[in-house]
Each structure stands twice: as C-alpha cells, then as structure tokens.
Amino acid sequence: GSKGGLEWVQADPNYLWYTPFGQPKQLITRNGAGALPVAGRVSRVPSGHPEGYLEGFANIYQEAARAIRAARRKGGKPPKDVVFPTIQDGVEGMAFIEACVKSSKKNGAWTKL
C-alpha cells in the first residue's frame, strides 16, 4: 500500500506483520499487544489458541446484529466501529483483484487502484 505493508500467512493465522514505510517491521498477534480494542470483542478464545472458520461467521453475524440494533436506536445510523465487510469493502476488494490480474498480465508491473 501507499503507507506500508502487511504480511499474513493462512497456515499461521495468529500473526500479522505490519511494516509502515520507513519504520521497523512490527508483529501484531491476535488479541495481543498492538491489536486494537475491537480485537478482544471479536476474539472468542485466548491468544495462542486457534479460532475456527465457524467463529469467523459468528463474528460477522454478531457485529451485524449489533449494527442493526444501534441503527434502530439512533434513527438509522449504524456504529462506526463495526467489524464486518460492507458493500464498499466488496467493491474495493474486487478493484484490488482486478488490479492484481492486470499487474500479472504485465509481468508484475505496479498497477494503480
């Protein structure tokens, strides 16, 4: 990205490497030091124990229900700290995939989103 890089490995999902441009690489662990407070809300088991596929969907449903309840209380405005994919996230994800395909066809050339 334009501000730094992220590295995550599916086979080792409890760790995220974050490298802001011009700064040292930082290791962020699931629900550990450096993680945002929201990580605790959507982590179902203590750090170091694997979370499963079904728990991921449970988190999405829980957050969606939270947003619906808040929107009903606040006259249609959902909370700003929801942790589930939005339509905009989907659009941006598709743009990213399209840019990856274009880059691949150009031998890995940098492709603007």
- How far, CA to CA in Å, does 35 sit from each of 22, 71, 108? 21, 27, 32
> Residue 96's pLDDT band (boundaries 50, 70, 90)?
very high
Task: Please write the tens of the pLDDT for every residue from 45-79.
Answer: 777 777 777 788 888 999 999 889 988 887 777 77
Whole-model pTM over 0.75? no
Picking from 68, 69, 62, the residue whose alpha carbon sits closest to that of residue 84 is 62
> Residue 29's pLDDT band (boundaries 50, 70, 90)?
confident
Domain positions in the chain are 1-49, 52-82, 85-113
Task: Please write the tens of the pLDDT for every residue from 8-17.
Answer: 998 888 889 9
Q: Residue 60: is it exposed, middle or buried by C-beta count within 10 angstroms (0-12/13-18/19+)?
A: middle
